[in-house]
Structure 1
Amino acid sequence: MQAVGLGLFLLLMPRVGLRAPPDSVSCSQGLSCWLLEADVLCSPGAVGLASGPVLVPTQMRMESVLHCAAASDCSPCVKVELQLAVLGPQEEVAGEGVRDGAGMDALRHRDSGPLRSWVLLSVQTYPSSRCVALEVQLPRTLARPNHTVGSLWFHCFEAVLRGELHVTSYTSPRYREVLSQTHRVPDCSWPAARAAIRLCQVPRLHLSVGPEHIVVQLQDVPAGQNFTMWFYWNQTSGLKGLRTEKGPQNYSLPSAQLLPCLCLQVWPDIPDPPRTSRCPFTQDPMAWTRLWAQAQLKLRRTAGRLSCSVLVPCAVPAELVPCWRLKRAGPCHELPHLRQALTLPTLHEFGTLQPHPNLCVQVWSGGRVQLMQCLLEGAMQGQPADLLLMETRDPQGNMLLCAMERGTCVPLASSTCMGVAVGALEQQLRRDVQAGQCLQVWDAEGSVVGTGWACSLEKYLRAHWVLAWMGGLLSTFCILLLLLLKKENLKGWLKMLKEDYSSGGVLRGRRALILYSPDHAGFERLVSTLACALTRLQLAVSVEMWSRAELCAIGPMQWFHAQRLRVLQEGGTVVLLFSRGAVARCMEWLLWKQGERLPRDDPYSAFSASLNCVLPDFLAGKAGGQYLVACFEDLLRPADIPELFRTVPIFTLPSQLPTFLLALAGTAAGREQKSSLKKHSLWIGVSLQRAIRECQLQKPDGHCPAQASALPGSGQAPMGAKSEAGELPPAMGST
C-alpha cells in the first residue's frame, strides 16, 4: 500500500512559474527528514486503514519569521512545526467504527526497517497556492505506539505583511484527519520587521510648536526613499484633509490649525505602501484652548421652542446643560433632568422648555463650562429677574410649589435667595400660578419633575417693603406710647437719643463685620437683635442675613472677602460670634489631617467660607487689633470656645456689653462716649435677654437648650492644629 502511494506521489506534475524562497527541513533527535519536492500538485484523498504501524502528524503550529537576502533586506514568511506520532494497525468493527488492531507486535519484528512517511504541506493564500512534499523516518526501536515521537520543522512559506495563510497537512496515503490551521502575518508594528523590512522603514516625526507655526520634520529617512505627508482632521463625519506634501522633509502649518483632532500620516512612494498615522495633540491643553476659542454656541427659538447648535472643528465629548440665571453677572443654576450629550453636527432641541430671558445653555466638557449663551444676550423682551417655581401634584391632586435654586428644588419656606422670605408669599404665588399671571417655561408633558413657572418678584418686593414700613411705623408708635406712660423712661430715652444724634452717634464712623453660624431661625433672630441695636448707635454693621441677595448672586466667599477688606481698610473690627454650631465647624477644621476626607460644608454659608481666611490669621498671630470674639453666656460657655481664638479678647453677652461696646468704639473714645455706651448697654442688654429667653423656650428640636453642654474636645484644641504637613486644609468654598 505504501509503495503504491509513493509511486502515485512521484508522478504528480510540479507547478511552474511560482517563485519561492529557499526551503529547508529539520527535525528533532531520533527522526530523519528530507525535502522531496518544493512545489507539487497534491490532494488529500480518502482515509485508508493502516495495516501496520505508520508515522503521522498529530499537531501543527505556525509562527511568522523573516527570510533575509541581506541584513536589511528581508521578507516575511511562515514557519510550520508538525508533531509526529506512531499510529498502530487498525481494523473496522461493525457498529464500533475503526479501532486499533491486534497486530501491534509488528513494531517488534526483528527484520522490519525504519518507519517511513511522506508528509504533504499545502498553503493557500491570496492569490496563489503551493504544496511541498517531505519525507520523515523513525527507527522502529524508538517507536512508541500512540505517543508523540518528535517534531518536524519546515522553513518557510513566503508571505506578505498583514497577509493570511491557510495551511493543511496530511500523509500520502492518508490514515487520519487533515490538520488545518489559519495564520495571520503581522504588519509593520511587528518589532522584528521594523529594522529588517524596507517597507516598514518609515521615518520618525518630530514636532516643533511655535507661536505662529507648527513645524513637522521627518527624521531617519532611508537613503533613496521618497515619502508623502498628509495632514488631516479626524472628525465624526469623516476625515477632513488639510494638505498633502511630497518631496521635502520639513513641513509647516499655521498654529491656528493645531487642534486636538489634528493628525499626520506618512507613507513611502511605492505601490500598496504601509501608512503610519499619529494624532499627537489629543492631550495638549493649548490645543483644547484653541478649539474652544473657535467653537460657537447658537441658541434658536423655533415655533415657540428652545433649540441650539454647536459649531466646533473637532468631535469632542461634551454635554449641553440648560440653566436659569437671575442676573447678568450671577451664577447660572442647572435645570435638573435636561442634560443632553453633544452630538455633531446636530440641532439639539429642548422640547419641554419655553423661551425666556433667564434661560441659558452651557456646554460642559472636561468638568467645566466651555461655552454659554443666554436668551437675554439676544435682546429678548421680558423681565430678567423672575423667580422659577416648580409645580408638582401630591397623590390627592393638590398643588405643591418649590423654588428652583442651585440645581435643585428648594421648599418655599427655605428660599431666601432674592432677599425676601419666599415662604411668606406662598399663597400669593399659588394664586398667581392658578390665575395664569406667571409665565410657563417648563411643560409638564414629557418632564420628570413637573411644570415650571416664572413669576416676577417685583410686585412682591414692593408690597414687602410697604408692609415693612407700615410695621416699622406701627412699632415706633407703640414704643412712643409705652414711653409716654412712663415719663421717667421717656426722659431717659430722649436723653440718649439726643446724645446719639446731637453728637453724631456714639459709634459713628466705626464699622464692624459680624460672622456667625446660622444654626437655626431662633439664633438668627438673636443675632439680628444685636445687629439692630448696634446700628442704632450708628455703627456700620455687615451681617449675612441682611445681604442674602448679594450673597446668592456672587457667592459666600466673594461676599466675605469684599466685606472683610472694607472693614479692615477703614480700621473696623471683625466680630466672631460663637455658637455651638460655630464651635463644631471650627473644631472640624482644626482637627482635620492631611489625607482625611474634608469636613462637610454648606457652600452657601458665609461663616463656613470665612474660615479659609480667619483661621490663617489666628494661626499666624495676626488677629490682634482686628478680631473680637463674643458669645451669649446663656447659650454657650466661654470655655467651649477653641483655645486658638483666645488670643483676642472674649466677651460674654449681655453681661459684658459695656466693655464689648468700648472695644468696638476703639481707643479714640472719650470720657463722655464711654459713659454714654455704658447707659446704652442697659437697654441693649434688656433686648438681648428677651431674645435669649425666646430662643430657650423653643422646642427641643430647635437646638437651643437652656444650658449648652460642653462640646467634646472644647477648650482643648491645640494652638497649632494643622495638617501633618504643617499647612491648613484646603479651602472648601469657591475662591
Structure 2
Amino acid sequence: MLMEMFIFQWTFWLLLMAFHKLACGLEGYDYQEVTCSQGLSQCSVMNEMPLNIPQSDVVDVKKLTAKVELCCGDNAACTICLLIDTQLYVQVEEDMDQHRHNQEANNSTVTAFVALCYKTPQTIPACKRVSFTVKHTTLLQNLATVSLIISKPAGISFSSIVLVYSDELMQPIKVDVPSLDEVCSQKLTQQHIEECHMPQVSSVINQEMNQVELKFSAINMKFPSMCIQYEANGICQIWTRKTIPLHSVAPCLCLQVWEDDERRPRRFRSCPFKNEWFLHTSLLRNNLSTSVVYAQMNNRGQMLQWNVSAPCRLEGEVWPCRRTGRHSCIEIEGFRQLLNKTTWKQRNGRWVKMVVFEDINLQLSPCVMMKVGSEADLPLGPFCHHNSAARWRWCLLLVALLLLVSLATLMLCYLHDFVKKCVRRASRGVRTSPHVVLLSPPGVDKDISEKVCDLGSLLKQQKLSVCVDQWSRREQHSLGPVVWLHSQLLHSKSRAVLILTPGALELAHESSNRHQEAEGDFGDVPLIPSPYSDAFTASLCLIHQDKQKGRVGQRFLLVTFDPSVVKRHAGSAGLFEGLELLHIPSQTKTLIYELGKGKPGLDGD
C-alpha cells in the first residue's frame, strides 16, 4: 500500500512538472552553472521536486542573496539569468566523528546538498538541488559558498517579480526583474536582445499634396501595426494607411508602431510634429471649436459657461468680455481664469474643456476671449453666445443684401447695352474655335474607318475641335442620330465633313431621287431612307434642306480617299452638287485651311 502511494505521488509530480514546462514554452527551459568555494568539491546541480523540499543534516543556509542579470555571449543573443549566492555553515558535530574515524584522518569527506528554489506570483515553484562533497580539513571556519547561475529560468520575464528561498519556512527574497524599456535603453545590450528589436516610423510633410507621408523600417519587410494618438497619454486609434491628411495632423500628434509578434512586444513611439509651428497656427485657426452658453445657478445667480474642443490640450488664459464691435471686446474685470492641461478630457478623439464664470451679469451679453501660449500671442475671439452672434450675422446679411440690390440697380440703369451684348454672346454659345464633325457612310470597311480616325486625330493636332461619329456611338444611340447631329451643328463655326465612297454616292443618288418623288407625290413629307438610321443619312436630309434655302456649301464639305470617286463626282449632278470635294492626302493642307476659316453655322436649323 505504501509503495502504491509512493508511485502515485511521484507520477503526479512528474506530470505536474511536465505541464509546467509545456506552459512556459520551450524558451522556458533553463540550463545552470554552479560554482563552489574552497572545501567543497564535485559540485553538481539537478532539478528537484518542489514538494517537501529536502534539508541536509550537514549544512545550514546562513545567508542567501539573489539578483537578475543579462547573460550575453560574444555576438550572441542576451538572455535573462538568475544568480543565487548561498553562504553555508557546515556542521561539525559529535555524531559525525565516528564517520570521520572510519575514513582517512587527513582526507575525511562528507557528501551533502542544498536546495534552492524560485517562483513568480503566476507560476509554480522550480527547485534546484546542488550536491557536493565536503572536505572539512580545507574549510575556513566551517563556512563555504555556492553560486548558482540559472540561464533562461522558466516563467521569468522582463518586469517579473521573483521570490527566491531555500527552505519552505524561510522568508523568501524578493528580486525585481528590470523592465524591457530599461534593458533596451542600454545601447550596449539592446542589439543583442530580440525583444528590443522593433520597427520605426519617420514622417515627411508634403504640403503640396496636403498630407503626411509615413515611411517604415519594418524588421520583416512588412507593414507593421500602427496607431495615432493626440497627446502622449491620449487614446491611440488604429491607423492602416501610409499617409495622414494634413488637416488631421496637430502638434501633439504621436505615432506608435509595433509588430504582431509576442517575441517583440515593444512599441516605437514618436511625436515628430511638436516643433512644426505652422501646425500650431493651423490648430488655432481651423481646428478649434468653441461655444458659449448662458445658464442659471441653483441659487438663481447667473453664470456663463464656455466650452472649447481641440485636438491638443491648450495652456493659457480665458476671460469674459463685453462686445463693442465685431473684433473688439472689453474685458469684464475679476473673472480671468488660467487654462492648464490637467483638467482636459478626451472624447471622440478630441480634447474638451469647460470653463464656468459664476455670478456674471448676462444682460451685458458677455462673450469670451482666450490667449494661448506666451504673453506675446494675440488674443483669440471674441467667442459669443449664439443669439449675439446671430444678431451680428443678420446685420451683416442685411447690409450685404442692400449693397447687392443697389449695385444691381446701378448696373441695370447704366450698363443696359453691355448686358444685352453679353446675353447675345452667351446665346451664341461658348465655343469660339471651329468645330468639325466627320461623318462616314454606313457599312464602310476597316481601312476607311482607320483613315477617318487618323484624319480626326490630325485635325485635333491643328487645334480644331473635332468629333468623329465613330467616337460617339454610345451618345448617338442614347440621343438618336438626328438629335446628335443637330447638337453638333448648333455650335458656332460648325462644319460637317462627309466621307465619300462609291457606296456613299449611290446612297446620295437614291436619297435625291426619293426626295424628288416625295415632293411630286406627297408634298413636303420625306420617304425612306429614314434619317433616323444613322448620322450620315441624317446629314443628307440637312443638305437637301440647305439646297432648298440656297445656302449649300456653308455647313458641309466632302472628302474622299478614293481618286475614282473624284472623277465620278465631277461628272454627276445630284444631291452633292455645289459642295466642294477634296482628295486626301493630296489636299490635306487645303482641307485644314478651309476648316480653319471657321465659317459660322446657322442657328435654329
Q: Given the two structures, how large is their TM-score scaled by the length of structure 2?
A: 0.47
User: Which structure is larger by alpha-carbon Rg, 1 or 2?
Assistant: 2
